[in-house]
Structure 1
Amino acid sequence: MVDTHGFSDTWQVTMKVSLGQRVLLILVVCASLWLVAEHGSRIAIYNIKNIMSSHGYLSEAKNVDSKVEKHGIRCVGAGAHTAEDLFCMEKPKYLPNFKNPCWYAKESGKFRLKCVPYYHILGVCKSGTTDLAYRIRAHEDVLRCRNCIMEKETFYWCRGRYGYEYNMKSMTPCNFSCFQDKFAEAAQRIEEISTEAGYHNMITGDATPSDFSDFRGWPKIPQNTGLKKPVVLTPHLMRHLYRDPKFILIFRNPTDRLYSDYMMQGGRSSAHFHKAVSEDIQVEENCMKNHTVEQCLYSLDIAKRLRTRIFLGCYSVFMREWLKVFPREQFLILRTEDHDQDPKAQLTKVFNYLNLNYTEESMFSIANMPHQRINQKKIRKGPILNKTRVLLDNFYSRYKKDLADILQDKRFLWLT
């Protein structure tokens, strides 16, 4: 409730000052009343300096309008402990004669071509994403990301933009300008090469499998400040900035995925894996007694208590978040088991989805390339224990059923 007596006193003070000062004070009071009405106890303090200096698409333009909602989400500006606010950036004017999403922006007095990925291999970890990325990059029209980890992963969307390293330790955040720079060499090549008709058909991509399910940085998204559960996640950010991104997912039986992931992370033996899994299931299920599934799976605090990344296998929870924002047709969804059994058939689907031309000869050559990133340690340590498989299959059963229902495909039950 507004204190009218206090407002009256304030007005009397303004009568003794200059006209300009009175006008300014009135504007401040009106703005304060609007903020209280609009945000209640959570008054948004817009950091104009941060907004105008954020590294968006048009670095020298001032096209920030905090009153305009982008997909129902407002620009609020970056705070002292949050990531830059991508909703304060205007979507670029993508060039129609470029297949890859690119635009020109003024930089150091010159117009330079900027690009973001044409496709994203979103996930999931330890499901063949490296092998798939390697085969896609073998196509003559696909450029690798020279400034990325293994020339394929940026880790921008899941961790870098929040100032987290791979192990979630703090580092200097990678802002959006930093993300663009990772594709600077690809952008130069895309600009140089064109067809006789003047169409630039080269593309590049990002294959960071953690982007699909690692939402642990959500408290650092400005729109989530002070909330107990997020209203904005990675899909919302991508929807605001991208044109029509192409997403590729490759799912693996979550039990097998976790065992492979554990061994890659330095696991000691199948017996130690069983002990770790038993404890982690207890941690997650205890959390879910008092919190939503999403709160438990997206929590950095809970993740720090886990000995495995068991949460990554709850595919349906994350899939629902993406489908809230993007239509189903923007996702090509594969299975690791099918990719291993018939890579040519799966790769044909991928190339068709990415609108890449190919011949039978080139497809045969790419499909028969050596498999990448085989987990030799898991082979040496032996198979998962049967009792561990039963335990994990039971834990993941509800999520597998949910995924099969979402995708209307029983293969994602992994019954055989």
Structure 2
Amino acid sequence: MASRRTCLHMVTYLNPREVDNESEKHGMRCVGGGAHMAEDLFCMDRPKYLPNFKNPCWYAKENGKIRLKCVPYYHILGVAKSGTTDLAYRIRAHEDVLECNDCLRGKETFYWCRRRYGYNVNMESMTQCNFICFQEKFAKAAQQIEETTTETGYHNMITGDATPSDFSDFRGWPKIPQNAGFEKPVIMTPHLMRHVYTDPKFILILRNPTDRLYSDYIMLGGRSAADFHKAVSGDIRIEENCMKNHTVEQCLYSLDIAQRLQTRIFLGCYSVFMREWLKVFPREQFLILRTEDHDQDQKAQLAKVFNYLNLNYTEESMTSIANVPHKRVSKKKILKGHMLEKTRALLDNFYSRYKKDLADILQDKRFLWLT
């Protein structure tokens, strides 16, 4: 049984002049910010995380006081309309998991994909959120983490971020200082996270990209299956025309191209984004699930998640969490009707190369979504 008490620990300070060895190995150095650019995270040293905290936390001086600061222990990276809200809710149902404050549905900060660049959900300009702003999203969790210990004095509670756009929305890359002047990015979200975290835990839940896109389209206000077919036909032409003269990556990461699309078709090209993450992080730092398996056997999938996050559970508690009704089940798609078969064939053909590539990367044929 955990006891609640405030403990005193040695204060650790950050040295902004030091460059993290791992970051230096990847060729990432501080170059400073600039007008209209995002904060240069490589100009700060990685926090000195405290060993008696399970969650990555550290003490820092703020306004003359010493405060505990924390960043997420885990990230549900993606992808949208694949069950991320439901999965995040079930993880937070565990007694040792805390939500972030001032976040969408208690789970999404949008920091890594958009807010640090000064974009809102529609990629319109807004006030940038710097790293201190990101930390504040976990201020309430940090306080509870600090006050809660096991009998040995270990702080076992954790918090997380479940922003599904983090996996594949790299459209803010031109605002990363190290990318200034380049036609394609050399630094992206995985590199930035690698500089901040020592041992991050990433969770992906992936859905058949064809089905995912239709759900996404309906959620964002799509009118009908017939209109969806027209939108998809046009978007495939835009992407394929772009790819005739540019790399796949340039077309999928382009804000200009994305603003011309009627759907978020690029989000389903999972293998392209997965390769970017695996250039920076080893495969074992990712737990990769399928929506279809999550829907079919939630207890088995939750057991994988809790084991990956090193969360204790009983058969009774697992059953209770698994039996909670699904969150964010869309009723709009029922009203709009099924996707047209000709649209499904069009999308299956477009996504086929990316599904095959993903199955090869993960060495798992289930990600071909043949059944």
Normalization by structure 2: what TM-score? 0.95
CA distance in 2 between counterparts of 1:264 and 1:64 reads 46
Aligned residues with identical type, % of pairs: 81
1:247 aligned to 2:202?
A: yes
Which one of 268, 274, 279 corresponds to residue 324 of structure 1? 279
Unaligned runs of 5+ in 2: 1-10
Q: Which runs of 5+ in 1 are unaligned?
A: 1-57
- The answer to whether residue 319 in structure 2 is matched with residue 369 in structure 1 is no
Amino acid aligned to 1:138: A
2:16 corresponds in structure 1 to: 63
Partner of 1:284: 239
Decide whether the 8 Å contact of 1:83 with 1:221 is kept in 2: yes
Q: Is the 8 A contact 1:67 1:74 kept in 2?
A: no
- 1:110 deviates by 1.0
**In structure 1, what is the Cα distance between the partners aligned to 2:123 and 2:335?**
29
In structure 2, how many angstroms separate the alpha carbons of the residues matched to 1:210 and 1:86? 20
Give the 4+ runs in structure 1 shifted more than 3 A. Answer: 58-62, 65-69
Does structure 2 conserve the Cα–Cα contact (< 8 Å) formed by 1:159 and 1:166?
yes
Quote the Cα distance in structure 1 between the aligned partners of 2:48 and 2:330.
43
Looking at structure 1, the residues matched to 86 and 99 of structure 2 have their Cα atoms a distance apart, in angstroms, of 14
Q: Distance in 2 between matches of 1:60 and 1:218?
A: 30
Matches of 1:345 and 1:59, distance apart in 2:
40
Which SS does the other structure have where 2:46 is aligned?
coil
Compute the displacement of 1:64 (Å).
2.3
The CA deviation string for residues 113-151 of structure 1, in whole angstroms up to 9 with x for no partner, is: 000000000000000000000000000000011221110
- Which one scores higher on RCO, CA 8 angstroms, separation ≥ 6? 2
Cα distance between partner residues in 1 of 2:338 and 2:200: 38
TM-superposition CA deviations, 1:355-399 (whole Å, max 9, x none): 000000000000010100011101111110000000000000000
Are 2:220 and 1:271 aligned? no
Q: Is the 8 A contact 2:203 2:287 kept in 1?
A: yes
Query: How far apart, CA to CA, are the structure 1 residues paired with 2:93 and 2:50?
Result: 25
Pick aligned residue for 2:177 from 222, 233, 236 = 222
Indicate the residue corresponding to 2:70 in structure 1.
Answer: 115
CA–CA distance in structure 2, aligned partners of residues 170 and 378 of structure 1 = 31
1:185-196 alignment runs, 5 A limit: 185-196=140-151
The 5-angstrom pairing of residues 142-291 of structure 1 reads: 142-291=97-246
CA radius of gyration, larger in: 1
Alignment length (residue pairs):
359
- Quick one: distance in 2 between partners of 1:142 and 1:156? 20
| Distance in 2 (alpha carbons) for counterparts of 1:66 and 1:327 | 21
Deviations 1:278-322 (A, max 9, x none): 000000000000000000000000000000000000000000000
Tell me if the contact between 1:122 and 1:210 (Cα under 8 Å) persists in the aligned partners.
yes
SS in 2 for 1:227: coil
2:51 corresponding residue in structure 1? 96
Look up the match of 1:307: 262
Native 8 Å contact 2:57 2:71 kept in 1: yes
- Decide whether aligned partners of structure 1 residues 65 and 76 sit closer, same or farther in structure 2, where only a CA change above 3 A counts: farther
What is the alpha-carbon root mean square deviation over aligned residues? Answer: 1.4
Helix, strand or coil for the counterpart of 1:120? strand
CA contact (8 A) 2:78 2:84 kept: yes
Match for 1:251: what amino acid? L
Cα distance, 1:59–1:275 mapped onto 2, change above 3 Å: farther
What TM-score do the two structures reach when normalised by structure 1?
0.85
Return the offset for 1:60: 8.1
Mapped to 1, the partners of 2:347 and 2:108 lie a distance apart of 29
